[in-house]
Amino acid sequence: MTEHYFEVENVSKTIKGKTLLHPLSFALSEGKVLALCGGNGAGKSTLLKMIAGISRPTTGTIRLMNIEPERDRTAYAERLGFMPDDFQFSVGLSAWDTLQFYAGLRGVGKRRVAEVLERVGLTAARNQSVTSFSKGMRQRLLFAQSLLAEPALLVLDEPTNGLDPFWMESFIHLLQEIKQAKQTVIFSTHQLDVATAAADEVLFLNGGKAISQGSVASYLQQYPVHGLTDAFADSLRGQYHKDPLH
Ligand SMILES: Nc1ncnc2c1ncn2[C@@H]1O[C@H](COP(=O)(O)OP(=O)(O)OP(=O)(O)O)[C@@H](O)[C@H]1O
């Protein structure tokens, strides 16, 4: 039994002999927000897909409220909402019909569909075909989809990708509301300012390795001038120092 609300223990991923993610571990308490930060190809999506239960870890264990996806896939999936990075919506469906489809799969009613559409500012566009949506509108719809069943754990891959500054702010505000509702969130981002504003904890990845992790507050205390930017740069220097052939 573990005391942690959510836990990743020695999780790694190898595909066809190539290690995409080296073993890493972290734990999160209920209602906390973790940002996964790192450059292109760092391993963020690889880790998020395993946490979302759509890819199996090569080694290690994932637990949400003591439920392991490998042992009870249904119970785990029921407690999770996932916003993937590269999602194609069905052609020709309206925003409302698209969400209704996912609501049906999760046993969620019309009232909640209307509620999440409102929260992401798409009520006026609800009858519009998703094909006509801008990138930012599609992101907001995808975010709404992940909120539908009020999951214990929200897993968001690059949620602010394509959002304009207004919606970026709104996203950060929505995460605060989600935290207050005691939902736990893990999201990936290239934007260290978004991580600073929205997250409690940060895990820096580079080349498939966890190179540093800690609370946003502790990084800001240690790096008062440029915050997470300096923390990331310092972690990279530390990694190359320890691992010069990387
Ligand atoms: N199915 C796969 N088979 C082989 N290699 C893969 C596979 N999926 C991802 N990779 C490789 O794993 C590494 C990590 O990819 P991943 O998508 O997790 O990175 P990321 O941090 O999400 O990057 P980005 O910020 O560009 O989205 C990359 O080198 C990628 O090419």
Q: Which amino acid is at 212?
A: S
Per-residue pLDDT at 244: 56
Nearest CA to ligand 1 atom 12: 20
Other CB atoms within 10 Å distance of the CB of residue 143? 23
16 inside domain: yes
Task: With respect to residue 226, please indicate whether it lies within any of the assigned structural domains.
Answer: yes
Distance in Å, CA 30 to ligand 1 centroid: 28
The answer to the question of residue 181 being in a domain is: yes
- C-alpha distances (whole Å) from 57 to each of 62, 69, 102 are 9, 10, 26
Cα separation, 128 vs 122, whole angstroms: 10
For residue 35, tell me if it sits in a domain: yes
Closest C-alpha residue for ligand 1 atom 1: 15
pTM score of the predicted model:
0.94
Partners of residue 155 on adjacent β-strands? 82, 186
DSSP string, 123-177: STTTTSBGGG--HHHHHHHHHHHHHTT--SEEEESSTTTT--HHHHHHHHHHHHH
| Substitution site in 46, 47, 48, 211 for ligand 1 pocket (most atoms within 8 Å of beta carbon) | 46
Is residue 207 in contact with ligand 1, taking CB distance under 6 Å? no
CB–CB of 195/35 below 8 Å?
A: yes
ipTM of the complex: 0.97
Between CA 1 and CA 157 the distance in angstroms is 29
Q: Is residue 1 part of a domain?
A: no
For 67-114, how does the pLDDT look when each residue is reduced to its tens digit (9 = 90+)? Answer: 999 999 999 999 999 999 878 888 889 999 999 999 999 999 999 999
Domain tally, the chain: 1
pLDDT of residue 2: 46
pLDDT tens digits for range 138-196: 999 999 999 999 999 999 999 999 899 998 999 999 999 999 999 999 999 999 999 99
Ligand 1 nearest atom to the CA of residue 205, by list position: 21
- Kindly state the tokens that stand for 85: 């990075």
The residue contributing the CA closest to ligand 1 atom 18 is 43
> Which tokens in the block code for residue 87?
């999602």
Q: What ranges make up the beta strands (E) of 29-141?
A: 33-37, 59-64, 80-83
- Kindly report the CATH number assigned to the domain that includes residue 148: 3.40.50.300
215 within domain boundaries: yes
Nearest atom in ligand 1 to the alpha carbon of residue 85 is 27
Cα–Cα nearest to 32, from 215, 220, 159: 215
Domain annotation covers residue 201? yes
Pairing of strands 184-189, 33-37: parallel
Q: Which of 192, 200, 181 is nearest to 28 (CA)?
A: 200
- According to DSSP, residue 226 is labeled T
**Residue 141 pairs with which residues in a beta bridge?**
none
46 lines ligand 1 (CB under 6 A): yes
Which of 12, 15, 40, 45 should be mutated for ligand 1, with most atoms under 8 A from CB? 45
Domain enclosing residue 59, as ranges: 6-242
Place of tokens 């992101």: 139
In a domain, residue 71? The reply is yes
